[in-house]
Structure 1
């Protein structure tokens, strides 16, 4: 298939349309219970926790949130928006329909915090297939956890991922620091929700050896406890009748806790389970909800676009459009499509940084300071020197810092993150240079676009003389300073007035001067 350049040039305009699409608002899908199957909850394992509270009134208002993907910042936005809607609407229940392999720790922490802090609303985690890694923490943050038959939860090991998507190796010191933080998160959330904190911790740290201790009491009743291996050994040794104590491993010190649906109920992580395939109606029956109003939310278009626009590839492409568009705008008359596309792409890059919570006012100031210096270099100072280099450096620094979650890298992981981000920024700038060179060659030959490109040349044989050649002819000329030269000012030579710079001293208005050097557009004079 043949693609003409005039079609390719429309791509920046399409990018601008994409920016406008980000303002699209959320949509709400309201429906009544749609499950065709019905059934009663099955629990052939005795729960360690009390069943849910008394049945809610008929017509309870339920907000249904599907979490069936990797845990990302986009999902954080979706969950936060839906929880706010539920709170404003006076919802009775928020049900999270969970099937996730896990995801980013920061997103997990934010989602768990939002769910746990929801007041006057009962939150339910329905683990219908898998709540691995970050999904286990999100489940733990809910008031009630119900498992589907065959579902599992746990295995929340920390994996360090570079911004490029690869797995990174980190030092033991950094790993221990992060594992300790995750253990504290899981333990605190378990205590907050009335679940066993040791079991929650062991989902993160495989060094925890847990025992399921069964104690036969004197009244022939049985008590179950979860203990660490050391606690269980000490408990047995201090018991007056060790024969009435049975200990079995939940997990050894070489494994992470990963529970199937029956184990989750048995050990008190979940409240109950329902048969696979019985669907939504069985869950509602388990919760004691009759004829509820169900409001089911799905991500909006803008939320679905989030993962796309925050990818390294799109960031690099936006940077290419930003630098290329702004440069083309500087070098063409008026303000047109290149300026709109360049400014729009730059604003979108900074917006991505603010959404990711990595940008701040200082990074924005660095970027715009760089643009100002580039403008000064192009329009005020001849050639391309220190000002231009400094402008590019400030732009690169500002954009890079707006995309990384730190200022100075303190660990090997942060250094790797910074290097990958710098690579993406560098590729964007290099691509913009190529784009500008291509446009310079192609625009004059493109119908409809040739008007913004210079198509004629002023040749010497046609009588044209460059300004630099004309200025060089002033070397040795004498004239009069028509303003104070401190050290820059104006001087008159013959019938022409020129911007000049005094060498080594200030020269007062009216004094005679002599041109001693001309470099580009810079004329250096001294007292005659």
Structure 2
């Protein structure tokens, strides 16, 4: 019965793994891109990419593949419709590199009304061949996010003598100055390349100022204001842009619009690269591998743990990770595991919880919106981790030290009764079951025996000692 149950257990696990693999195969078999309009003649199209959301690894992958698709289709122009609060500096710079190297003119269009191109979006707008905005949109606030703490510092009263007022540069550490100056030089370079207002670009970085669409047009930050994409195509028709040192005149009035949507791969990458999801995957990976190593044969725990940990490592590769925070999380898990193995006064457990919480807070080294780990999520997994390692895992380890109470292993050292006289092989009763037994000592019916070993379905027995016989209970 035990064998059949074990077989069903493994069959269930293999079935679950097969379903997962089939599902992944179906996803990879889908088309790589989703185009929302009917195919037009190659070369007579405008490709439309929807940059809606934070600038991160997923958005970077989507834009890169969209620019490549536009080049393959020999599109006349690429439209990036932008609505973003900003994003990661690394992803932003890679997108800008793709725009500058693009063989197809790129038009960044902040739309629809109410949209914004804040922070990283401003840099992308400056890097584009043509920059446009819809009414009731804004851009700016391009200060590196970690530098915003400078704005919260108390100001010195004007009544204080000028000579006693501390210089603002004295309040900025060397790293702050380097980051701001690097960002200023970068955006000024983009502005000079495209012939746009470099002074306001520097102001947007140093002071975090923003502009409306009309103000941006008046200050030569953008090239035009358009109501929608159709109006945009009409307004840029006949304009000349500098494409890798070559002057190119645009003819866009009669172009067919081909919109490339974010496909399942982009959405999947966006999910995996989300710091909260990456954090959960990392912990699932750790727990799964620990469970597999402590209880070999689980299989599903090991497979799920390994896959989750690899996905988490992939996400950490593209996220701004603080490795000191990651080391603290591992140290916390180690301490909580040690508390389960070596229960004492709780110092290891308390230290493990503290290290786990501090490491989780430090893990993502950025203050960019939508790129932090939720505090409630950290609290939840801290409690779950503490419970898992110090309670559940401790109970599992203690149960492994208890004597076996079922199965063939439990028969060894058990006592029984001889059913017939024999001096080599015969029949005995152990736990109410008839077993074939072998002995080196002659035995008689009713005599108490002890099982010393088990060879297949044959028990090796020996007579119980007198003190054992007196204390033995009838089975």
What interval of TM-score do these two structures reach, taking the shorter chain for normalisation? 0.5 to 0.7
* Counterpart Cα distance in 2 of 1:146 and 1:339: 52
| 8 Å Cα contact 1:59/1:291 also seen in 2 | no
Tell me if 1:273 matches 2:225: yes
SS at match of 2:206: coil
Bigger mean CA offset, 321-330 vs 343-352: 321-330
Partner of 1:187: 188
Cα offset, 1:89, TM superposition? 2.6
| 8 Å Cα contact 1:183/1:205 also seen in 2 | yes
Question: What does residue range 310-329 of structure 1 map to in structure 2 within 5 Å?
Answer: 310-329=273-292
| 8 Å Cα contact 1:32/1:292 also seen in 2 | no
* Counterpart Cα distance in 1 of 2:321 and 2:193: 30
Partner of 2:254: 291
2:37 paired residue among 8, 12, 31: 31
Partner of 1:521: none
Q: Which has the higher contact order (CA 8 A, sep 6+)?
A: 1
| 8 Å Cα contact 2:34/2:261 also seen in 1 | yes
Tell me if 1:77 matches 2:29: no
With normalisation by structure 1, the TM-score equals: 0.51
| 8 Å Cα contact 1:152/1:259 also seen in 2 | yes
Change in 2 beyond 3 A, CA 1:439/1:146: farther
Question: What does residue range 126-145 of structure 1 map to in structure 2 within 5 Å?
Answer: 126-128=109-111, 129=113, 130-145=116-131
Cα offset, 1:117, TM superposition? 2.2
* Counterpart Cα distance in 2 of 1:422 and 1:95: 40
Question: What does residue range 10-159 of structure 1 map to in structure 2 within 5 Å?
Answer: 17=20, 20=24, 23=28, 26-31=32-37, 60-118=44-102, 120-128=103-111, 129=113, 130-159=116-145
Partner of 2:172: 172
* Counterpart Cα distance in 2 of 1:127 and 1:79: 15
* Counterpart Cα distance in 2 of 1:463 and 1:196: 90
Change in 2 beyond 3 A, CA 1:348/1:59: closer
* Counterpart Cα distance in 1 of 2:147 and 2:409: 58
Partner of 2:435: none
Change in 2 beyond 3 A, CA 1:460/1:99: closer
* Counterpart Cα distance in 2 of 1:167 and 1:440: 52
* Counterpart Cα distance in 1 of 2:109 and 2:184: 23
SS at match of 2:107: strand
Tell me if 1:349 matches 2:349: no
* Counterpart Cα distance in 2 of 1:193 and 1:137: 12
Q: From the two aligned structures, give the one with the greater helix fraction.
A: 2
* Counterpart Cα distance in 2 of 1:116 and 1:349: 32
Change in 2 beyond 3 A, CA 1:432/1:324: farther
Cα offset, 1:99, TM superposition? 2.0
* Counterpart Cα distance in 2 of 1:351 and 1:423: 24
Unaligned ranges ≥5, structure 2: 1-8, 154-170, 238-251, 335-340, 343-347, 415-475
Cα offset, 1:271, TM superposition? 1.4
Partner of 1:433: 389
CA RMSD across the alignment: 5.2
Change in 2 beyond 3 A, CA 1:327/1:147: closer
* Counterpart Cα distance in 2 of 1:194 and 1:348: 43
* Counterpart Cα distance in 2 of 1:455 and 1:323: 31
Cα offset, 1:357, TM superposition? 7.8
| 8 Å Cα contact 1:323/1:432 also seen in 2 | no
| 8 Å Cα contact 2:275/2:364 also seen in 1 | no
